[in-house]
Amino acid sequence: MAQEAEWTRRYEAVIFDLDGVVTDTATVHAAAWKRLFDEVLPLLKPDAPPFEEVEDYRRSIDGRPREDGIRLFLASRRVTLPDKAENPELASATSPTVQSLAVRKQYFFERVLNENGVSAYPDAVTLLHRLRQCSVPTARVTSSRNCGLVLQTAEIAHLFDVTVDGIDAQRMHLPGKPDPAAFLEAAR
């Protein structure tokens, strides 16, 4: 423990990304995105290749705000949608928008999370416990708007002092990753 306390003195705080670093939410997100695009892509462009859970998720979706991921993936299939319906009362499943797909993706994410849960990586949890024992403050940063739900499901919310998530980023008008703004906010 003395050696452990020694190395932690070099750090004023430690900031963790959430998805893929602390929790295996990539699996949950990828499954939710697959359900979404398997549902809507055949309606938007029947001849388009289907959403590939690993490749398309990593290339177009992972780490980005939800709407940015939708735009980027659909662009890879040469599909463009309006961000919002001009008349929300006329919006429907046959005329989706980026916003309506983002809402639908959230529905699928919550379903997959409830069905399968989410696991925290054991090494990350061990490190977080050690940092807490040595009074090193910890923060989590994520583009996800599901941070609270994920950490509650993984039972690790108590291991962090500060959170900057997708809800905070939207409220503070912080750009999404790879821009470092959310990490700088957590450090502040």
**Which CATH number is 2-24+118-187 given?**
3.40.50.1000
Instruction: Name the residue ranges covered by the structural domains of the chain.
Output: 2-24+118-187, 26-116
Task: Considering only residues 117 and 9, tell me which one the structure prediction assigns the higher pLDDT.
Answer: 117
pLDDT of 178 reads 79
pLDDT of 90 strictly over 80:
no
The DSSP bridge partners found for residue 163 are: 140
Q: What percentage of the chain exceeds 70 in pLDDT?
A: 92
- Assess whether 19 carries a catalytic annotation: yes
pLDDT of 5 strictly over 70:
no
Predicted confidence band of residue 92 (pLDDT cuts 50, 70, 90): low
State the catalytic residue, choosing from 17, 24, 62, 161. Answer: 17
53 with 35: CB under 8 angstroms?
A: no
Measuring CA to CA, which residue among 134, 125, 123 is closest to residue 10? 134
Measuring CA to CA, which residue among 117, 184, 180 is closest to residue 151? 117
